[in-house]
């Protein structure tokens, strides 16, 4: 366990520090929804006594705090965050972000706002259209009161996310983007209600509710994308066993929770069981599936003296082991901490919309106040002055700006989905558009990760059926490959009765004809000339005839083509693999990758990525095994195949399906197309404000016209984003065609 990872790295990122080292604390922070919120939390925490550094992960709403050896007052940290408008609490092991509840709440409010806006618009048509002059005053007033009856409760319910956020900011004597939004909605609603009581025509209920509707669309799209990026480090803990079978000194056994296992305890692991903690084998032999750790699809044969790791599975045979680590110090826990640190580092990525919004809130307030005071100083009454100020607040509400990125993300994710790619991280496309280096794993990424029988055509049906009858009784990957080959040929696969599986050797069956064996050359009593190959099984029948079964993990059909296309486009490509040197060298030569490394552990892959980061490179990591998960989280961007371990899919920014690597190219193409659309949307939003804000300031845009203009800018932004759905993307940054 300890020898596979850098002790310094693990000490830096975990709380298991020695007395002279720093300590770590994680807080769950509620109410963060933009880059300004993230920076405010980081600044507040960093200013507290005892805090060395603070990093916020916006995706999962967590703050990772590094404290001095003496520690920091947790309650003081929580109280400091409450003082700036954020509720926080310490992360418990079972804590999981309630993203689903937040999404559902926003969706309900969005539905209410949309329903109310459509109905108020219908009632407003008669008032604002040409037939308004034919109405008498009482009928107009009735329509206004009906609009009020719909608008007031709708605003009160749908506007709560903005009102609550604004209230927290104001209580903390802070400003955020929700303050001008709340002011504009409440002033428009309150003024419309006042004008309705006076029988005036200056009623803007439709403007207030429509404004909320479009703002909620932007907020919901952003939250829905971000909520899928739950913590991979937290989900990793689901791979561990929950209980262990402990062998007591008197020879009896007892089931204990893994958290109660201490080094020195004897642990029994049956065939098919997950190993509960890192341990050393004392008795027995077995094939252990370590694909989640090493990425190697072929199980490793272990025996007395070998170390086995938590989360791996004993495929064959029972093992008696001695625990060498507690649950919190296992390799699985180490990888979880590596991923947690990588995720926190990724949380510092700041999108263009967040940076643009940094100075937006104070500017909007000053502009609205300046408009009101200017009209008053020019001698106009408070009503025209307030109407102009409300129009300014509405027209400057960042609806188009808020939709600029989420709308492109939704369209891009839909296009990717149609091509078998599931986008998971809200800012994944932005980071993919910046990469210049691509790291590829071998097993399960460049290859399919599924051993296949390569010489089945020369094996006759009778011998294949005989081998399949033994293989059907085993869970070994090669056994499954033999069964699959037999089924593909239409041969019935019925497991023979009484098959004995000998761990690390093979399968044995005795019937009336004699003994049949399926396994290694040594197990099948082959002579020395037969050789011993880890990718070959032998079938020895009672007549003494032996037949070899050769297996391979085939490359994906388009692997060489995709690598060449990416290389020709100017990307630097490397292969990082936990597999053996010979297998990696063969795969690298087959696909044309000049730079490769073999036999790597999770810490080694992160070290290489960090080295490239130090050289100024932006790395796209593509991998599938548990050993790739920390590297996926540490890379600037990441992709994982759908066949990958669940934890790797969670760590990745996107998951692609199918047996081809072409989705890597499509992802990069769409990422660059999305970046262009997002920048164009920012241009639309800025141009809209440049044109309409002066009109609102001088009183040429009423609150209703302001809401229509705001809505039009949102529609323009959305329509521009929709161009990405069908647009032909031919090149990436002028390099990839």
- 192-206, 387-401, 611-625, range with the lowest pLDDT: 387-401
Tokens 């643009």 belong to 356
Contact status, residue 465 vs residue 516, Cβ threshold 8 Å: no
Look at phi and psi of residue 444 and say left if phi exceeds 0, alpha if psi is from -120 to 50, else beta.
Answer: left
Q: What is the pLDDT of residue 267?
A: 92
Tell me which H or E stretch contains 212.
helix 205-227
Are the CB atoms for 278 and 325 separated by under 8 Å? yes
Q: What token pair was written down for 277? A: 């903690």
Largest CA-CA distance found in the chain, in angstroms, rounded: 112
CA 517 to chain centre: 46
The predicted model gives 33-37 an average pLDDT of 61
Within 13 Å of residue 545, how many CA atoms lie on the same side as its CB?
7
**pLDDT recorded at residue 163:** 86
Question: Among the listed ranges 239-248, 349-358, 544-553, which one has the minimum average pLDDT value?
Answer: 349-358
Pairing of strands 243-247, 253-257: antiparallel
- Distance between start and end Cα atoms, the chain: 45
The Cα–Cα gap between 480 and 500 comes to 16
Give whichever of 162-176, 221-235, 276-290 has the largest mean pLDDT: 276-290
29 DSSP assignment: E
441 is catalytic: yes
* DSSP string covering 47-91: TSTTEEEEEEETTTTEEEEEE-TT---HHHHHHHHHHTT-EEEEP
Q: Say which residues have a Cβ less than 8 Å from residue 362's Cβ, sequence separation at least 6.
A: 175
β-pairing, 619-622 vs 437-440, is parallel
| Contact (CB, 8 A) for 312 and 279 | no
Contact 463, 489 (CB under 8 A): no
Exposed, middle or buried, 280 (CB in 10 Å: 0-12/13-18/19+)?
A: middle
d(CA 647, CA 555): 23
pLDDT confidence band for 350 (50 / 70 / 90): very low
Pick from 141-145, 420-424, 725-729: least confident: 725-729
- The SS3 assignment for 620 reads strand
Do the Cβ atoms of 706 and 461 come closer than 8 Å?
no
- According to DSSP, the residues that pair with 90 across neighbouring strands are 27
Asked whether the predicted pLDDT for residue 573 surpasses 90, the reply is yes
Helix-then-strand count for the chain, H and E: 25, 26
CA distance 285 to 263: 21
Block residue for tokens 């593909």: 488
The pLDDT of residue 234: 52
3 state DSSP class of 186: helix
Distance, in Å, from the CA atom of 113 to the CA atom of 138, rounded to the nearest integer, reads: 27
Q: Are 563 and 585 in contact (CB under 8 A)?
A: no
Supply the DSSP symbol for 306: -
Whether this prediction's pTM lies above 0.85 is answered by no
CB within 8 Å of 26: residues ≥ 6 apart = 62, 63, 64, 65, 90, 91, 340
The string of pLDDT tens digits covering residues 491-523 is 888 888 888 888 767 899 988 888 999 988 888
In angstroms, the CA 523 to CA 616 distance is 53
| Residue from 178, 289, 441, 604 carrying the catalytic annotation | 441
The token pair that represents 554 in the structure block: 């085939």
Whether the per-residue pLDDT at 266 is higher than 90: the answer is yes
Per-residue confidence (pLDDT) for residue 399, from 0 to 100: 60
Strand 572-576 relative to strand 536-540: parallel, antiparallel, unpaired?
unpaired
Is the per-residue pLDDT at 344 higher than 50? no
Contact assessment for residue 291 and residue 625, using Cβ atoms and an 8 Å cutoff: yes
Average pLDDT taken over every residue of the chain: 76
Q: What is the mean pLDDT of residues 640-657?
A: 70
How does DSSP classify residue 274? B
Helices (H), 319-460: 331-346, 352-357, 360-377, 382-395, 399-418, 428-432
Buried b (16+ CB within 10 A) or exposed e, 654-667: bbbeeebbbbbbbb
**pLDDT-based confidence at 229, cuts 50/70/90?**
very low
Query: In whole angstroms, what is the distance from residue 151 CA to residue 195 CA?
Result: 14
Q: Give me the residue label for tokens 């690597």.
A: 661
Range from 161-165, 504-508, 701-705 carrying the lowest mean pLDDT: 701-705
Residues ≥6 apart with Cβ < 8 Å to 333: 310, 327
Measured in degrees and rounded to the nearest 5, phi and psi for residue 655 equal -125, 130
Sheet holding 51-57, edge to edge: 51-57, 62-67, 23-30, 87-90
């Amino acid at each position: 366990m300890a020898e596979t990872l850098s002790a310094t790295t693990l000490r830096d990122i975990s709380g298991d520090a020695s007395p002279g080292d720093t300590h770590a604390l994680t807080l769950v922070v509620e109410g963060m929804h933009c880059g300004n919120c993230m920076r405010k939390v980081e600044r507040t925490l960093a200013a507290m006594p005892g805090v060395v550094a603070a990093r916020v992960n916006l995706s999962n709403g967590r703050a990772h705090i590094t404290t001095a050896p003496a520690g920091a007052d947790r309650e003081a940290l929580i109280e400091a965050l409450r003082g700036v408008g954020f509720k926080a609490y310490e992360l418990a092991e079972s804590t999981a972000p309630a993203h689903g509840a937040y999404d559902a709440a926003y969706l309900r409010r969005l539905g209410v706002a949309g329903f109310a806006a459509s109905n108020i618009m219908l009632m407003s048509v008669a008032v604002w259209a040409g037939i308004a002059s034919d109405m008498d005053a009482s009928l107009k007033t009735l329509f206004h009161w009906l609009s009020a009856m719909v608008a007031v409760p709708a605003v009160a319910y749908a506007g709560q996310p903005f009102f609550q956020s604004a209230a927290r900011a104001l209580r903390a004597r802070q400003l955020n983007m929700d303050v001008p939004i709340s002011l504009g909605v409440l002033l428009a609603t309150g003024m419309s209600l006042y004008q309705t009581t006076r029988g005036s025509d200056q009623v803007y209920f439709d403007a207030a509710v429509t404004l909320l509707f479009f703002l909620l669309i932007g907020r919901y799209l952003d939250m829905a994308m971000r909520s899928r990026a739950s913590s991979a480090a937290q989900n990793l803990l689901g791979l561990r066993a929950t209980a262990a079978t402990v062998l007591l000194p008197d020879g009896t056994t007892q089931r204990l929770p893994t958290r109660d296992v201490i080094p020195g305890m004897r642990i029994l692991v049956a065939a098919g069981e997950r190993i509960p903690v890192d341990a050393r084998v004392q008795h027995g032999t077995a094939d252990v599936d370590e694909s989640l750790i090493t990425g190697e699809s072929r199980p490793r044969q272990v025996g007395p003296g070998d170390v086995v790791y938590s989360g791996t599975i004993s495929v064959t045979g029972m093992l008696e082991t001695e625990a060498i680590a507690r649950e919190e110090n296992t390799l699985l826990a180490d990888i979880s901490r590596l991923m947690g640190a990588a995720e926190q580092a990724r949380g510092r990525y700041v999108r263009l919309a967040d940076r643009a919004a940094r100075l937006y809130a104070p500017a909007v307030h000053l502009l609205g106040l300046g408009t009101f005071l200017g009209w008053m100083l020019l001698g106009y009454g408070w009503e025209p002055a307030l109407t102009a100020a409300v129009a300014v607040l509405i027209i400057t509400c960042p609806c188009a700006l808020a939709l600029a990125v989420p709308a492109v993300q939704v369209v891009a994710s839909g296009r990717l989905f149609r091509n078998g790619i599931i986008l998971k991280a809200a800012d994944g496309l932005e980071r993919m558009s910046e990469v210049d280096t691509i790291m590829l794993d071998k097993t399960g990424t460049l290859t399919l990760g599924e051993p296949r029988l390569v010489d089945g055509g020369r094996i006759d049906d009778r011998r294949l059926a005989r081998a399949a009858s033994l293989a059907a009784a085993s869970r070994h990957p090669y056994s499954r490959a033999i069964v699959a080959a037999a089924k593909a040929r239409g041969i019935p696969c019925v497991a023979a009765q009484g098959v004995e599986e000998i761990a690390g050797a093979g399968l044995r069956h005795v019937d009336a004809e004699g003994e049949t064996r399926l396994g290694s050359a040594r197990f099948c009593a082959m002579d020395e000339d037969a050789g011993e190959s880890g990718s070959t099984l032998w079938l020895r029948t009672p007549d003494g005839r032996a037949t070899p079964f050769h297996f391979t993990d085939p490359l994906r059909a388009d692997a060489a083509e995709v690598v060449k296309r990416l290389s020709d486009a100017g990307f630097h490509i490397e292969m990082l693999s936990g597999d053996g040197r010979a297998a990696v060298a063969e795969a690298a030569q087959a696909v044309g990758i000049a730079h490769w490394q073999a036999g790597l552990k999770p810490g080694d892959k992160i070290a290489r990525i960090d080295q490239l980061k130090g050289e100024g490179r932006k790395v796209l990591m593509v991998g599938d095994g548990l050993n790739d998960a920390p590297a996926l989280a540490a890379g600037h961007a990441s992709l994982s195949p759908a066949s990958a371990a669940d934890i790797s899919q969670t760590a990745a920014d996107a998951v692609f399906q199918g047996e081809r690597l072409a989705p890597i190219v499509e992802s990069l193409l769409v990422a660059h197309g999305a970046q262009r659309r997002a920048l164009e949307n920012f241009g639309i939003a800025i141009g809209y404000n440049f044109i309409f804000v002066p009109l609102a300031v001088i009183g040429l845009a009423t609150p209703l016209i302001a809401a229509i203009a705001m809505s039009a800018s949102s529609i323009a932004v959305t329509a521009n984003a929709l161009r990405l759905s069908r647009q032909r993307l031919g090149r990436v940054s002028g390099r990839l065609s």
